[in-house]
């Protein structure tokens, strides 16, 4: 479940991400009635099985049945994990076109919500998910070669910069020409991003030791890339990282 909007005193419209139909919206009539059969069957961060009547022409579909498959109860008490889950769910909701099948995005979000619910929040996990989602959308940043001359690059190469608008790295030779919106990228940051981009499982990000400087640089770099290539503001992202920066108990 991506988000819900009140429709009436007893009904609501729910946006779902599905593997077969992509992002859809369904009306749940009687969702808030005690005897309606829907109480406790859907909520934020649930994975559900739904039966609905499909309406053509981009209309809101009508839900007949909802059964909760994964409730992920830990999100009710772990506010740091909830902050991550809220942003990532919002990112997928914004990046997914309506009714366009996207099974990889569904798998990624379902897997990452499982990981957050089981093991808690992690800043590297957020970065890993962003990279994997961009890959599934065909928008992966280029971290292995210069986007201008095509030369293979490594983290040890000097003078390498990252240009969000062009989607990747610029080598030292090409950087001598006029380059806008490009910024230096540290060798350790480039190595970390390349490793995460190759990894198919979130455990790789969970195991990564990411210092404050590295996290700040990656946050800015990926933030600029997402904003440019998805052509949208991401206020939930800023809120997520602000909350994760707070110490427990504050």
For 162-204, the pLDDT digits (tens) are 999 989 999 988 877 666 788 999 999 999 999 999 998 998 8
Cβ atoms of 156 and 194 within 8 Å: the answer is no
Whether pLDDT at 247 is above 70: no
Write down the pLDDT at residue 210.
86
Burial tier of 95 (Cβ tally within 10 Å: 0-12, 13-18, 19+): buried
CA-to-CA distance for 3 and 43, rounded, in angstroms? 9
Starting at the edge strand found earlier in the chain, the sheet holding 3-6 runs 3-6, 12-18, 22-28, 61-70, 47-53
- Average of per-residue pLDDT values in the chain: 91
Q: 120 and 44 in contact (C-beta within 8 Å)?
A: no
Stretch 121-138: mean pLDDT, rounded? 95
Q: Is 181 helix (H, G, I), strand (E, B) or coil?
A: coil
Q: How far is CA 41 from the centre of its chain?
A: 24
What value, to the nearest 5°, has the Cα angle with vertex 213 and ends 207 and 216?
A: 90
pLDDT confidence tier of residue 158, bands split at 50, 70 and 90: confident
Q: Residue 41: how many CB atoms within 10 A of its CB? A: 19
Residue 7 scores a pLDDT above 90: yes
Helix (H) or strand (E) holding 224: helix 212-230
pLDDT tens digit sequence for 202-227: 988 988 888 899 999 999 999 999 99
Residue 61, beta-bridge partner list: 26
- On whether the CB atoms of residues 92 and 133 are closer than 8 A, the answer is yes
- In this prediction, residue 249 carries a pLDDT of 54
What is the pLDDT averaged over residues 46-71? 90
Question: Domain spans of the chain?
Answer: 122-250
Sort strands 61-70 and 22-28 into parallel, antiparallel or unpaired. Answer: parallel
CATH node for 122-250: 1.20.1440
């Amino acid at each position: 479940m991506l988000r819900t909007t009140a429709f009436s005193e007893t009904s609501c419209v729910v946006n779902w991400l599905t593997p077969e139909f992509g992002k859809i919206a369904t009306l749940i009539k009687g969702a808030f009635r005690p005897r309606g059969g829907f109480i406790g069957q859907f909520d934020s961060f649930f994975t559900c099985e739904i039966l609905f009547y499909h309406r053509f022409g981009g209309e809101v579909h009508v839900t007949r049945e909802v059964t909760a498959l994964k409730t992920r109860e830990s999100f009710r008490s772990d506010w740091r994990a909830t902050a991550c889950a809220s942003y990532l769910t919002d990112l997928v909701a914004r990046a997914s076109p309506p009714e366009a099948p996207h099974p990889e995005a569904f798998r990624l979000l379902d897997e990452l919500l499982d990981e957050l619910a089981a093991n808690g929040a992690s800043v590297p996990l957020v970065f890993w998910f962003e990279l994997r989602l961009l890959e599934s959308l065909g928008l992966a940043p280029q971290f292995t070669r210069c986007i201008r001359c095509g030369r293979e690059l490594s983290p040890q190469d000097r003078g390498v910069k990252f240009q969000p608008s062009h989607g990747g790295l610029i080598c030292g030779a090409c950087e001598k020409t006029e380059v806008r919106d490009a910024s230096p990228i540290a060798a350790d940051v480039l190595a970390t991003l390349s490793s995460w981009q190759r990894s198919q499982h979130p455990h790789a990000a969970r195991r990564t030791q990411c210092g404050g400087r590295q996290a700040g640089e990656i946050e800015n770099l990926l933030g600029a890339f997402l904003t440019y290539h998805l052509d949208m503001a991401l206020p939930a992202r800023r809120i997520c990282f602000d909350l994760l920066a707070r110490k427990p108990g504050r």
